[in-house]
Chains A and B, each alone.
Chain A
Amino acid sequence: MVEVGGRTILSRLIEEVERQTDRIHVVVGYREELIIQHCALHHRNVVLVRNPDFRTTQTIHSYRLGARGLPGPALFIDGDCLIAPGALGSFVEAARGHRSLVGLTPASSDHAVFAAVREGDRGTEVVGFDRATPEAQEWASVLITPADVLEGHENFVYEALAEHLPLPAATIELAEVDTTADLERAHVRAAQWWPAG
């Protein structure tokens, strides 16, 4: 519910996703009452999926809850991502013909999961994830994949993906906001992306 450029990241994210699909599931845990109220007022078409175990589970658990019942590939995005206008559309377009597509972004966040990539006949592919070894790109917390790819893991999404490497990847322009420093950078990006506010 953090605001950037006078609007919540959540609202900006939902509106970007709405340009791609009219099926949006928002998984809620921390401060769910606030988010439910926000969506009841501004995003009534969103299905809110409760994760009462949010304190003891990782994002991958929320991803699975959100995808429950959905057939075929789903687009997964962390709720703290500020996505550049139009970037999600290009990412969805790049996913055509692939079972899965991993989102990457130039490494800049404070808690980056770096992605090693290779270029080949099948385009860009992720070949490894590592928190310790710096790479030019980081895991963007954006993913298109069938939910079964996420089964069998309770820790991090990238660890589940690591079992399926190499995976097709595409760059997506976004700013992930985990820390105060991330937020400051997001404000700068937002001023560039939405100059009128």
Chain B
Amino acid sequence: MTRTAYCFDLDGTLSAMEILPAIAAEIGFSEEVETLTRVTMDGHLSFAQSLRLRALLLGAVPIERVHRVVADLPLDEHLEQFVTDRADSCFVVTGNLGVWLTPMLDRLACPMVASIASHRDGHLRVDHVLDKGEFVRGLPSRGFDRVIAVGDGANDVPMLREATYGVAFGGVHSPTRSAVEAADYVVHEGRDLCRLLAEL
């Protein structure tokens, strides 16, 4: 029997709103971080550069407040159900910082891979930026025969390209041109995405 891994981007894919602007709202930088997110998604700034910049800005928000924001973030209800029903074959693959996202682990109960950061000298420093393509390339060694990846931005492109099937998802906003070009499918509603995933 073919074993399929489902890899989901988090921000704007599983989550029904962008996470970093929501965190930034805690310190009044929502619009600035939203702009930074947009130019990064469009590929005008490298994801690694952008993440370091965003960590520098948002590192000022106490981690407890970040966790409260993340815990309350709405998820796409259809995708949340899909992941919950298949927790042993779903992965949240996010370039975002794992240290911010621990409340998501409780909600989705499936493995999450994320970028790594640590607090040093009073600042939040990014230690490792996740390469989503590299993660997908490693899935066969975990017993998966094929991979279906879902994402919406420039940093999802390596994951969408490496997957057996890539889906550019426009649930929160339109997927970027680069994500569309790396994908086999473009879907705009969670319900339709889940039906497609279940049948591929």
Contact = CB atoms under 8 A, between A and B. Distances in A.
Given A68-B200, A70-B199, A36 B180 contact: yes
Interface residues of B, number: 18
Nearest to B196: A47
Contacts of A46: 188, 192
A23 interface: yes
Contacts, number: 42
A63 B185 CA distance: 14
Given A36-B180, A40-B170, A40-B174, A47 B200 contact: no
Nearest to A26: B186
B200 A69 contact: yes
Q: How large is the interface on A (under 10, 10 to 19, 20 to 34, 35 or more residues)?
A: 20 to 34
Interface of B: 170, 174, 177, 180-181, 183-189, 191-192, 195-196, 199-200
Interface of A: 23, 28, 32-33, 36-37, 39-40, 44-50, 52, 68-71
26 contacts: A28-B186, A33-B177, A36-B180, A36-B186, A37-B174, A40-B188, A44-B188, A44-B189, A45-B189, A45-B191, A46-B188, A46-B192, A47-B185, A47-B186, A47-B187, A47-B192, A48-B185, A48-B186, A48-B187, A50-B180, A50-B186, A52-B181, A68-B200, A69-B199, A70-B199, A71-B199
